[in-house]
């Protein structure tokens, strides 16, 4: 079932009509989504062209049960095997896939699960992405934390025992420029042993600067690898440029980042093709940059403020489990993160099979860790959230739950010398 985000003009509300008028008269909304804007660095399109070509040719309905069986019996999973494992024909073999995924996870990661916390420091955005709560036309409380508030939030998180943080912003260079993000990285280094970034894509030299400020890895959501659907969903702003976003992880590695993470937002388009493209993108980049730490995540759509209609209509938990198990079999060394978009029950189960990293103590709002930890709300001094989370467990409860599940929670395993 395809999500229907677009309706006839006569059915639009007054505010939606205003948005439609603004879009029709905004130059960036009329740009070709495959053409780079001024200032965007161009690198070799080799990997992008390879991934998109393979994805367009991928016909998952052509795979049979026999091909799935052969894929499970192979000691090493080929690209074609991976395609078979993502196909509908593999659904009856989910238990066998889970058994193999569990074995591979144990071989490469032992009994560990890594914990981290995201910190949103700003929610201003210059993009109009119809599925995102931060989009520039959504009427929400906007906020950008100054360095004092950033450090206060980091102190609260660090005091809980967390040692890894993921810094996030809305996609606005005007409100969250690279220097601002770099300062947040320098502050994070005072409190955390691992610092990740999930920000708007930047050029190689800017990634190099952020690495020097203390960032270890970069996460970029491609959202969907279907360029036609991508154009329909990203109506305005720099994010509209499909190739520049696609090539962000490679620019980050060229800029010296230790690791990169890949993801599509499942439910925006054909989830099987998006799942294939995500992992194949990671596979191709790892072959080109074998020193890089590669990880994957597999989020589904969640409701956002002012639009409760957005839900993961296409991807159910069984299908999500199939994708995650296929990821592990195809890329046994890759980290796999399962976010708080998923339920407590699902996350407790999937970390026993193939996931290696989960978020804890999560907030997708701005400046609200103090109120969440104290139990006292102060919404006048906070920015609205990007989406609704599904698993709101604190760091301490998550740590205890993972231990009770027979796993070894790990906060960090890096030594800096």
Residue range 158-177: average pLDDT?
A: 94
Residue range 63-78: average pLDDT?
A: 98
- Return the higher-pLDDT residue of 369 and 297: 297
Residue range 204-229: average pLDDT?
A: 97
Confidence grade of residue 12 (pLDDT, cut at 50, 70, 90): very low
What the block records as the tokens of 42 is 């161009």
| Domain 70-410 in this protein, CATH class | alpha beta
Question: What percent of the chain has a predicted confidence (pLDDT) above 70?
Answer: 83
The pLDDT of residue 181 is above 50: yes
**Exposure letters 212-226 (e unless 16+ CB within 10 A, then b):** ebbbbbbbbbbbbbb
- Residues 355-398 have pLDDT tens digits of 999 988 876 677 766 655 545 455 455 555 545 667 778 889 88
Q: Please tell me the predicted confidence (pLDDT) of residue 261.
A: 98
Residue range 259-264: average pLDDT?
A: 97
Residue range 169-198: average pLDDT?
A: 96
Domain residue ranges in the chain: 70-410
Angle at 139 between CA 135 and CA 142, to 5 degrees: 75
Q: How far apart are CA 143 and CA 17, in angstroms?
A: 26
- Return the higher-pLDDT residue of 29 and 268: 268
Confidence grade of residue 142 (pLDDT, cut at 50, 70, 90): confident
- Residues 303-332 have pLDDT tens digits of 555 555 555 457 889 999 999 999 999 999
Q: Please tell me the predicted confidence (pLDDT) of residue 13.
A: 44
Burial class of residue 4, CB neighbours in 10 A (0-12, 13-18, 19+) = exposed
pTM for this predicted structure: 0.89
Contact between residue 349 and residue 405 where contact means Cβ atoms under 8 Å apart:
no
- Residues 71-127 have pLDDT tens digits of 999 999 999 999 999 999 999 999 999 999 999 999 999 999 999 999 999 989 999
């Amino acid at each position: 079932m395809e999500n229907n985000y677009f309706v006839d003009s006569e059915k639009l509300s007054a505010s939606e009509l205003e948005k439609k008028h603004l879009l029709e008269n905004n130059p960036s909304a009329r740009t070709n989504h495959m053409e780079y804007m001024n200032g965007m660095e161009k690198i070799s399109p080799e990997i992008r062209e390879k991934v998109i070509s393979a994805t367009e040719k991928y016909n998952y309905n052509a795979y049979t049960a026999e091909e799935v069986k052969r894929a499970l019996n192979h000691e090493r999973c080929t690209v074609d095997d991976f395609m078979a494992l993502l196909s509908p024909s593999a659904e009856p073999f989910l238990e066998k896939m889970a058994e193999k995924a569990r074995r591979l996870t144990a071989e490469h990661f032992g009994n560990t699960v890594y914990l981290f916390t995201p910190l949103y420091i700003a929610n201003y955005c210059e993009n109009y992405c119809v599925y995102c709560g931060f989009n520039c036309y959504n009427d929400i409380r906007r906020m950008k934390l100054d360095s004092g508030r950033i450090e206060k939030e980091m102190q609260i998180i660090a005091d809980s025992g967390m040692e890894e943080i993921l810094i996030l912003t809305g996609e606005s260079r005007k409100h969250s420029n690279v220097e601002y993000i770099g300062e947040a990285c320098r502050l994070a280094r005072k409190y955390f042993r691992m610092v990740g970034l999930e920000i708007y894509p930047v050029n190689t030299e800017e990634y190099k600067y952020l690495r020097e400020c203390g960032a270890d890895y970069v996460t970029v959501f491609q959202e969907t690898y279907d360029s036609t659907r991508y154009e329909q969903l990203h109506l305005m702003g720099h994010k509209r440029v499909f190739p520049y976003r696609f090539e962000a992880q490679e620019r980050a590695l060229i800029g010296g980042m230790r690791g990169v993470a890949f993801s599509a937002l499942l439910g925006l388009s054909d989830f099987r093709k998006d799942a294939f493209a995500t992992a194949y993108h990671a596979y191709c980049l790892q072959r080109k940059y074998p020193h890089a730490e590669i990880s994957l995540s597999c989020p589904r759509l969640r409701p956002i403020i002012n639009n409760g209609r957005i839900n993961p209509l296409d991807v159910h938990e069984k299908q999500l489990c199939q994708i995650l198990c296929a990821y592990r079999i195809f890329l046994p060394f890759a980290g796999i993160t399962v976010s708080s978009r998923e339920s407590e029950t699902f996350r407790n189960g999937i970390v026993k099979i193939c996931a290696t990293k989960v978020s804890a103590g999560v907030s997708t709002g701005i400046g609200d860790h103090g109120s969440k930890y104290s139990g006292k709300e102060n919404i006048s001094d906070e920015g609205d959230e990007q989406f609704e989370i599904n698993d709101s467990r604190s760091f301490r409860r998550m740590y205890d739950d993972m231990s009770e599940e027979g796993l070894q929670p790990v906060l960090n395993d890096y030594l800096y010398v």
